[in-house]
């Protein structure tokens, strides 16, 4: 059994369109893949501990990781720690810079959870940053029309990795579902 950990972005959830499309695709085409869609805890350290516990619960099996936006940032940390492959969709490269502008109360539109973004969260995010990237372990997908993140930061950081740069689009990654077969090929799932 192959385990796939899908990590949603900031203020998102396993109910997001990308998560639902991912679940439907793998259920139909790769039933040997068990996909995990956790609802992330709201602090970075708690979220990482949560994700590490999921991986630790099946430590001896094959793990693959997918992450969108802030989930891409977390995915990079986990991919480097566990030496596994990751697919990043419009990944956040410096989320600590973005979140420093929204310190205070937040409400998750999917779960209605009310929580606080704290100054300590910014520090915690900085500590998760990975400087040295294992170039063969990543497929990075960005769209130039991303209105939330500067796609060029991802292109620069992951320049030695497998990159898909699509013109236009937006932060949600327009036509994401058409990329799922390419993601499966990157993960070499046909032969597992």
pLDDT at 59: 80
pLDDT digits (tens, 9 = 90+) for 121-173: 999 999 999 999 998 999 999 999 999 999 999 999 999 999 999 999 999 99
User: Rounded mean pLDDT of 21-29?
Assistant: 96
The per-residue pLDDT for 188 is 93
Distance CA 67, CA 126 (A): 18
| Statement: residue 192 has pLDDT above 70 | no
pLDDT of 191 reads 43
d(CA 64, CA 38): 14
Q: Taking a C-beta distance cutoff of 8 angstroms, is the pair 118, 143 a contact? A: no
Residue spans per domain, the chain = 2-191
According to DSSP, residue 54 is labeled H
| pTM, full prediction | 0.96
* pLDDT one-digit tens code per residue, 91-111: 999 999 999 889 999 999 999
Whole-angstrom Cα distance, residue 23 to residue 165?
24
Instruction: Express each pLDDT in 11-20 by its tens digit.
Output: 999 999 999 9
Beta strand 33-36 with 104-107 is: unpaired
CATH T-level fold of 2-191:
Rossmann fold (3.40.50)
Nearest to 95 by CA among 68, 55, 115, 114: 68
C-alpha 130: how far from chain center: 14
pLDDT score for 58 = 87
Handedness of CA 107, 99, 80, 8 (dihedral sign): positive
């Amino acid at each position: 059994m192959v385990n796939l950990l899908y990590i949603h972005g900031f203020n998102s959830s396993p109910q997001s369109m990308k998560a639902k499309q991912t679940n439907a695709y793998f259920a139909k085409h790769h039933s040997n893949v068990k996909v995990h869609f956790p609802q992330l805890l709201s602090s970075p350290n708690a979220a990482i501990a949560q994700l590490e516990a999921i991986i630790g619960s099946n430590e001896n099996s094959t793990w693959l990781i997918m992450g969108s936006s802030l989930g891409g940032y977390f995915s990079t940390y986990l991919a480097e720690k566990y030496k596994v492959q990751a697919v990043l969709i419009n990944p956040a490269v410096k989320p600590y810079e973005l979140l420093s502008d929204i310190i205070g109360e937040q409400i998750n539109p999917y779960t209605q959870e009310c929580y606080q973004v704290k100054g300590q969260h910014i520090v915690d995010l900085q500590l998760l940053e990975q400087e040295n990237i294992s170039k063969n372990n990543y497929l990075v997908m960005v769209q130039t029309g991303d209105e939330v993140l500067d796609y060029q930061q991802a292109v620069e950081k992951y320049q030695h990795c497998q990159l898909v740069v699509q013109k236009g689009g937006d932060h949600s990654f327009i036509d994401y579902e058409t990329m799922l077969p390419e993601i499966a090929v990157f993960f070499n799932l046909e032969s597992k």
